């Protein structure tokens, strides 16, 4: 198994590891993103057991001990399982995540105290790179869920949103909504909730040019349209579940 590297936006590298044994025959990818700058940031540590692969991949781009920030979408093994391994090899590194994740998990589980990010707070990396943190609670799953948006390149690091099967190209302009619906049908990974569509439409207002998927290719194109279509799909799913329960979703009060 090898981790492939592609620069998906200026100074933003996708580190992709394909695991054919998950959801065969299509297989499944695990992607981390390294955002370069004076203070480099890694989004998703990767699984703890994949740390040697991801460490070797980062080392092809920069000295691993230069890593400054470790961020991820939510507290889960593929997102942050190797967090403490990264903290150990990068003495100046610090985990950064939203308040819920820090209070619920990271203040205890991270070997060094995390930086707490408020909703809409930014981290300037230097070199023109600036990441905005946005809370997306329970979307697609995890009370502590959030995303990062790199403003200079218009890149939304969107974590598990748009999860799809297979090992496509690093970059695509093809539809990512259809494959995301197929991924949802297979894994049922989203915590369907009435607020989900609204949360995803909030991300669409960023009008990202690039959507960096944790499990799938990186999409370039009209990110707002793709996010809007995904929000519509989840609204339909939520309405369908409510209807199946004999509820309309509208208050009768
Ligand atoms: Fe997840
Ligand atoms: Fe994930």
pLDDT, one tens digit per residue, over 22-67 is 999 999 999 999 999 999 999 999 999 999 999 999 999 999 999 9
Peptide bond into 25 cis (omega under 30): yes
Q: Is 178 left (phi over 0), alpha (psi -120 to 50) or beta?
A: alpha
Give the long-range contacts of residues 243-250, CB within 8 A, separation 24 or more.
Answer: 249/194
Distance 157 CA to ligand 2 centre (A): 12
Q: Could you give the CA distance from residue 175 to residue 136 in angstroms, rounded to a whole number?
A: 23
Q: What is the DSSP letter of 64?
A: G
Give the Å distance between the CA of 5 and the centre of ligand 1: 22
- The ligand placed nearest to the CA atom of residue 45 is 2
pLDDT given for residue 250 in this prediction = 59
pTM here is 0.96
**Spatial contact of 166 and 215, defined as CB atoms under 8 Å apart:** no
Average of per-residue pLDDT values in the chain = 96
For the chain, give the percent of residues with pLDDT over 70. Answer: 98
Q: How far is the CA of 138 from the centre of ligand 1 (A)?
A: 10
Ligand nearest to the CA of 216: 2
Query: 156-184 in b/e burial notation, b at 16+ Cβ within 10 A?
Result: bbbbbbbbbbbbbebbbeeebbebbbebb
Tell me which ligand sits closest to the C-alpha of residue 47: 2
Q: Give distance in angstroms: CA of 174 to centre of ligand 1.
A: 23
Q: Which residue has the higher pLDDT, 40 or 248?
A: 40
pLDDT at 253: 45
Q: Are 95 and 114 in contact (CB under 8 A)?
A: yes
pLDDT tens figures, 126-157 = 999 999 999 999 999 999 999 999 999 999 99
CA distances from 35 to 51, 144, 150, 173 (A): 18, 22, 9, 21
Ligand 1 centre distance from Cα of residue 141 (Å)? 6
User: Nearest CA to 90 among 140, 174, 34, 141?
Assistant: 34
How do beta strands 12-19 and 3-9 pair? Answer: antiparallel
Nearest ligand to the CA atom of 189 = 1
What are φ and ψ of residue 23, in 5° steps?
A: 50, 50
| Ligand 2 center to 216 CA (angstroms) | 10
CA distances from 42 to 73, 107, 133, 192, 197 (A): 11, 19, 14, 28, 27
Q: How far is the CA of 253 from the centre of ligand 1 (A)?
A: 36
Nearest listed ligand to the Cα of residue 139: 1
Are 216 and 140 in contact, with CB atoms under 8 Å apart? no
Q: How far is the CA of 159 from the centre of ligand 2 (A)?
A: 6
CA triple 16-20-26, angle to 5 deg: 100
């Amino acid at each position: 198994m090898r981790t492939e590297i592609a620069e998906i936006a200026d100074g933003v590298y996708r580190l992709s590891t394909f695991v054919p044994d998950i959801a065969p025959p299509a297989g499944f990818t695990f992607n981390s993103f390294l955002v370069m700058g004076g203070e480099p940031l890694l989004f998703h540590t990767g699984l703890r057991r994949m740390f040697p692969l991801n460490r070797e991949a980062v080392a092809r781009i920069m000295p691993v001990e230069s890593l400054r920030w470790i961020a991820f979408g939510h507290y889960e093994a593929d997102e942050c399982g190797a967090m403490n391994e990264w903290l150990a090899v990068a003495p100046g590194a610090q985990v950064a995540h939203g308040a819920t994740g820090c209070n619920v998990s990271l203040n205890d589980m991270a070997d060094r105290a995390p930086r707490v990010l408020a909703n809409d707070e930014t981290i300037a990396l230097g070199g023109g790179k600036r990441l905005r943190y946005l809370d997306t609670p329970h979307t697609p799953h995890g009370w502590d869920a959030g995303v990062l948006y790199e403003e200079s390149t218009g890149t939304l690091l969107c974590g598990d949103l748009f999860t799809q099967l297979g090992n496509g190209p690093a970059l695509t302009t093809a539809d990512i909504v259809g494959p995301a619906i197929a991924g949802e049908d297979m894994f049922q990974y989203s915590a369907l909730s009435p607020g989900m569509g609204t949360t995803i439409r909030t991300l669409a207002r960023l009008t990202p040019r690039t959507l960096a998927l944790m499990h799938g290719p990186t999409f370039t194109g009209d990110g707002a349209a793709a996010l809007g279509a995904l929000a519509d799909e989840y609204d339909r799913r939520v309405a369908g579940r409510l209807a199946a329960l004999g509820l309309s979703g509208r208050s009768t009060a």
